[in-house]
Amino acid sequence: MNIQWPLVFFTLFIGLGCGTFAGSVILTEWYGKAKQIRTISSLIAIVSIGVGGVSSTLHLGHPERMFGALGHPTSGIFMESALSFLLGLAIIIYLLALRRNAAAATCKAIGTVGAVLAVGLTFVNGDAYVMASIPAWNTWILPAFYLTSAAVMGCFSIGVLLAHTVNYNTTMTAETAATTEPIAASGMIKQATLIALAVQAVVLVAYLLHIASAPYPDVTRSVTRVLAGNLAPLFWGGVVLLGLLVPTALMTKFYTKNNEGFPVKLGLAAVLAAGVAFRALMFLLGSSIKQFF
């Protein structure tokens, strides 16, 4: 199957937006850290989701026909569109609550609803590709990878915001430190990122095992093609190196003074590139079983 670039960027930006918003809610509302990033992280999330939505329409030869699919509640397009709308609405309400200085409990409740919708949307993005007719896609491992990818991208996105929120080249007063708690927030994000990367590595191995054991084996979707064939550069260079090894190595300098957040910015660029690489790899492995009938 050819790479469907509009769908690649649709799921990539949806994952980035969902990961950023859910991660921000967990950090700021559930743990009460770095609450000053709530507005900017929410704006980034809703813009990212909007860009993803626009990208998805570019895949349709006749975008107006999408409304026909919306009449079928069980279709993937309907579920993705409905969750995108609900999540966007939840983020707008959350921003309005922040703007009006709503009670902490109110902001937490609204943010939590949005975070749940974000997780659901990310899962549905991956689940839309689970098809029995395409052996390499016919597994729940695929939406699980989309979830871990969103988590990793979200962690690095929040890391960039934290790096810009606090000037590490100046000495903070005790009052400022108590209010922003940048060190504690940075430490939590670093730990969450390492956990997400570890889970993503496990899910990636599970996906390779699925490809190797999937029914109707064919050279176009073989694990040999991924590990040592023409897809090896994309897998080892894009998915493994940029998606796992480089981000993990950058953890040692994730929030070091005087680096102006360069490692975490580089990490975000790497995981975004890895997200594109995995999605492209997925499409290149998406051959059908039709030749067996």
Mean predicted confidence (pLDDT) in 175-202: 77
The tally of CA atoms less than 13 A away on the side-chain side of residue 280 is 15
Which residue has better confidence, 157 or 176? 157
Report yes or no: 141 and 206 within 8 Å, Cβ to Cβ.
Answer: yes
Q: What confidence tier does 53 reach under pLDDT thresholds 50, 70, 90? A: confident
pTM score of the predicted model: 0.89
Under the banding of pLDDT at 50, 70 and 90, the label for residue 60 is low
pLDDT at 62: 56
In order of 120, 193, 230, 249, the CA distances from 45 in angstroms are 15, 18, 35, 26
pLDDT at 289: 83
Vertex 246 angle, CA 14 and 164, to 5°: 65
Q: What is the pLDDT of residues 100-126, one digit of tens each?
A: 999 999 999 999 999 999 999 999 999
- Residue 291 pLDDT exceeds 90: no
Quick count: other Cβ atoms within 10 Å of Cβ 235?
Answer: 22
Asked if pLDDT for residue 206 goes beyond 90, the answer is yes
Confidence of residue 56 (pLDDT cuts 50, 70, 90): confident
Is residue 172 predicted with pLDDT exceeding 70?
no
Q: In the predicted model, is pLDDT for residue 257 greater than 70?
A: no
Task: Evaluate if residue 287 carries a pLDDT over 70.
Answer: yes
Mention the CATH class of domain 5-292: mainly alpha
Of 165, 177, 119, whose CA–CA distance to 144 is shortest? 119
Residue burial 152-179, b: 16+ Cβ < 10 Å; e: rest = bbbbbbbbbbbbeebebeeeeeeeeeee
**CB contact set of 190 (below 8 Å; sequence gap of 6+):** 159, 251, 254, 255
pLDDT score, position 57: 75
Does position 202 have pLDDT exceeding 80, yes or no?
yes
Is the pLDDT at 174 greater than 60? The verdict is no
User: Smallest Cα–Cα separation from 185: which of 207, 211, 199, 165?
Assistant: 165
- What sign does the dihedral 133-136-139-144 (CA atoms) show? negative
Q: What is the pLDDT of residue 162?
A: 87
- For the segment 150-160, the average pLDDT, to the nearest whole number, is 94
pLDDT averaged over every residue in the chain: 86
Query: Would you state the pLDDT for residue 58?
Result: 73
pLDDT in the model for residue 260: 58
